[in-house]
Amino acid sequence: MTLAGTPAVAVAQDRTTTKHTEPLPLERLFDNRAVSDDAHPGDADFDGAGNSLSAQDLHTAGWDPGRLLGLDSVSLRWPHTRPGEPDNVRADGQQVRVDGTGNAVSLLVAGTSAVGGPGNGVTGTGTVHYWDGSSSPYTLTAPDWRSGSLATKAVALPKVNTRSGTPLAEKAKLYAVTVPVHEGRRIRSLTLPRDAGPASDLHVFAAAVRRTESSWTGTWTTSTAGYTSVGPWQNQTLRLVVHTSAGGSRTRIKLANTFASTPLEIGHASVVVQREGATGRGRPVPLRFGGRDGTVLPAGAHAVSDPVGFQVPAESNLLVSIHLPGAVPAAPVHSEARQQSFVSAGGSGDRTGDAEGAAFTGTLDVWPFLTGVDVRGGPGSVVAFGDSITDGVRSTPGTNRRWPDLLAQRLRAQQDVPHYGVLNQGISANRVVSDRYPGDGVSDDTGGVSALNRLERDVLGQTNAHTVVVFEGINDVRWGASADEVVAGLKEVARRAHERGLRVVGATLTPCEGYQDCFPEVDAKRSAVNAFIRDNGGTFDAVLDFDAVVRDPARPQRMLPSYDSGDHLHPGDAGYQAMANSVELRKLLPGA
């Protein structure tokens, strides 16, 4: 959803806080009117040319005044103002009160051009101030509200209001961006970037600290890969099967309305350990959201359920049930689940409390809406960030033979390294530097936005993640990217992950000779990328040589036949096992 803010220098380089005015709450600094009523579009002027956001379109998206929005694992409150009232600040060195301890500060922003037309976005440098008197710099980019990328937007609205009353039929976009901080130091305030000049403005609508959640461990995740037609579902219950890595005595789930343009209503939700099929071991445990049975997810936002006392076994299957009371014609999904889940018959109502599976007469081979399960306690998590080979494509469905699952088994079976949760953030057909799914609208393409564009959501915002294994790039070189472009993308992934304190482990790309488009020139680019990964000049903290593990010694361009699934690109179960077995577990340790 977002492009992270990038610091001008490493946050480790402190400087003494200079004298500055007393910080104020952001809303006390509002000096610009971005939102107008469609009936009175002249009451706001977001960009200096009389253009503005539509209050009606924001309402349709669920972005109502004062609404708390879950964006990239932080809650940001949309301004509690009426159309035509000041609702954002044009950044010009103001001191903003932002109190708390965490791993980033998140801001809801957009850039505008003074000429009134689409611009290139706005970049500026600011400062994070801590209560101990130290500070750290950051550089923040606010994409343009009209021409910025759909792949990284928080929300897109269908039109731009104009003072003439004739709207422009183009997308108006807002963005959530984050800036790095010193984790463990309590933040006192934020100095916003100075005025970018007469040609453009950087607007800030909300700001909050993304808290560090060291008391939780992610046990299962999946990445939203696209937004596609479903059902339609109407007053039905989904019962989704997911496989845990770590265990704990309390749990919570994460639901996301990623890429959507309208809100999603959740009636009820529950969790239970699977016995078989859609039947649980006992009665499902109900989940609540802010003390309520259900919740509404605005367009692009996520929700986390309240913690509940429920024993989650490690390496077990859970049934997570979600009641959808309204009509749902499209949904954010992860398409390559490699796992059969279930859906009740149309109009069958709330079946989240059913212990037996008789009501679940339909099946699903995707994961809609559900993006994570956390357990209380534990040592934190390792994120596997990649494409279809991390996604487990061509592994045996329903057996959890993806290499991240097998790595989790290895971690559980030893005592030298903590029993980390392993979070699978692989997306089939995903690329490092270019998008498959464009980031907006209903589409059959579920290859996801690029690794660079989903990094914040799928890695940096994950619960208590310490290490990321980056294993991606084969699709880029197969589909036209140069080796240099992939290397630059991998460097950027590593740089941004290091800024947030993660250990970054690079993995070499596996061979694919024999696959339909894996030509000799593709293998040459793959080999060049692998040469960089193996001798990366400090880009990665450690390297996993998956290429060396699965290649045929007699012909290194191809996979060893015993590890090949048969399509010559994806390993089979034996190949995934060999990959997991090859991981030196100590390479996953932060600070190793």
* Average pLDDT over every residue of 211-222: 96
Query: What is the reported pLDDT for 198?
Result: 73
DSSP 499-522: HTT-EEEEEPPPP-BTBTT--HHH
Residues 333 and 495: their CA atoms lie apart, in Å, by 29
pLDDT band at 418 (very low <50, low <70, confident <90, very high): very high
pLDDT confidence of residue 42 = 97
Q: What is the pLDDT of residues 423-445, one digit of tens each?
A: 999 999 999 999 999 999 999 99
32: tokens are: 């610009």
**φ and ψ at residue 505, rounded to 5 degrees:** -110, 125
Give the per-residue pLDDT at 14: 38
- Residues in CB range of 230: below 8 A, 6 or more apart: 328, 329, 330, 331, 333, 368
Tokens coding 579:
């990959």
User: How large is the average pLDDT for residues 220-246?
Assistant: 98
* Tokens standing for residue 385: 């960030």
Angle at 494 between CA 127 and CA 589, to 5 degrees: 105
Question: Would you call the peptide bond into 232 cis, given omega within 30 degrees of 0 as the criterion?
Answer: yes
Tokens at residue 500, please?
A: 């947030």
CA distance 93 to 587: 42
d(CA 60, CA 471): 39
What pLDDT does residue 196 have? 64
User: How far from 469 is each of 385, 386, 424, CA to CA, in Å?
Assistant: 6, 8, 10
Both tokens of 1, joined, read 């959803």
pLDDT band at 2 (very low <50, low <70, confident <90, very high): very low
4 has a pLDDT exceeding 70: no
Type of residue numbered 305: S
Task: Dump the DSSP string for 421-465.
Answer: EEEEEE-TT--SSS-SS-SSS--S--S-S-HHHHHIIIIITSTTE
**Number of helices (H), then strands (E), in the chain:** 9, 36
pLDDT in tens, 347-367: 999 999 999 999 999 999 999
pLDDT of residue 564: 98
Tokens 């997810």 — which residue? Answer: 297
Kindly report, residue by residue over 261-314, the tens digit of the pLDDT. Answer: 999 999 999 999 999 999 999 999 999 999 999 999 999 999 999 999 999 999
Average pLDDT on 204-232 reads 97
Cis peptide bond upstream of 590, omega within 30? no
Give the Cα separation of 10 and 190 in Å (integer).
17
**Region 88-105 average pLDDT:** 97
Q: Are strands 465-471 and 381-386 parallel, antiparallel or unpaired?
A: parallel
Give one DSSP letter per residue of 13-66, joined into a string.
Answer: S-EEPPP-PPPB-GGGG--B--EE-TT-GGG--SSSSS-BEEHHHHHHTT--TT
Instruction: Report strand pairing: 367-368 vs 381-386.
Output: unpaired
Token pair listed for 527: 């080999």
Q: Alpha carbon of 73 to those of 63, 153, 264, 584, 588: distances in Å?
A: 17, 15, 18, 30, 23
The pLDDT, as a whole number, for residue 385 is 99
Give residue 566's pLDDT band: very low, low, confident or very high (50, 70, 90). Answer: very high
pLDDT tens for residues 364-398?
A: 999 999 999 999 999 999 999 999 999 999 999 99
Picking from 269, 261, 105, the residue whose alpha carbon sits closest to that of residue 183 is: 105
| Residue 129 confidence (pLDDT) above 80 | yes
Structure token pair of residue 114: 């003074």
Say what the pLDDT of residue 591 is: 82
What is the per-residue pLDDT across 465-491, written as a single tens digit (0 to 9) for each? 999 999 999 999 999 999 999 999 999
Give the burial class of 521: count Cβ atoms within 10 A of its Cβ; 0-12 exposed, 13-18 middle, 19 or more buried. Answer: exposed
Distance CA 378, CA 549 (A): 30
Angle CA 187–190–196, to nearest 5: 160
What are the backbone dihedrals phi and psi of residue 487, each rounded to the nearest 5 degrees, phi first? -60, -45
DSSP E strand boundaries for 313-455 = 317-334, 341-343, 362-364, 367-368, 370-376, 381-386, 421-426
**Percent of the chain having pLDDT more than 90?**
94
Q: Where on the phi/psi map is residue 206: left (φ > 0), alpha (ψ -120 to 50), or beta?
A: beta
**For residue 301, which of 255, 340, 336, 265 has the smallest C-alpha distance?**
255
The tens digit of pLDDT for each residue in 528-563 reads: 999 999 999 999 999 999 999 999 999 999 999 999
End-to-end C-alpha distance for the chain, whole angstroms:
31
| Contact by Cβ (8 Å): 201, 31 | no
Average pLDDT, the chain: 95
CA dihedral 147, 150, 151, 156 (to 10 degrees): 140
Three-state DSSP class for residue 585 = helix
Is the pLDDT score of 92 beyond 90?
yes
Continuous H helices in 194-262: none
Tell which wins on pLDDT, 333 or 1: 333
The encoded tokens of residue 17 equal: 């806080």
Identify which of 508, 506, 498, 495 has the alpha carbon closest to the alpha carbon of residue 591: 498
- Span of 13-17, 127-131, 312-316 with lowest mean pLDDT: 13-17
- pLDDT greater than 70 at residue 19: no
Structure tokens at 153: 């937007």
Compute the C-alpha angle 219/220/223, nearest 5°: 145
434 contacts 450 by C-beta, under 8 angstroms: yes
Point out the least confidently predicted range of 20-29, 222-231, 560-569.
Answer: 20-29
Q: Rounded to an integer, what distance in angstroms lies between the CA atom of residue 79 and that of residue 85?
A: 10
pTM of the model: 0.95
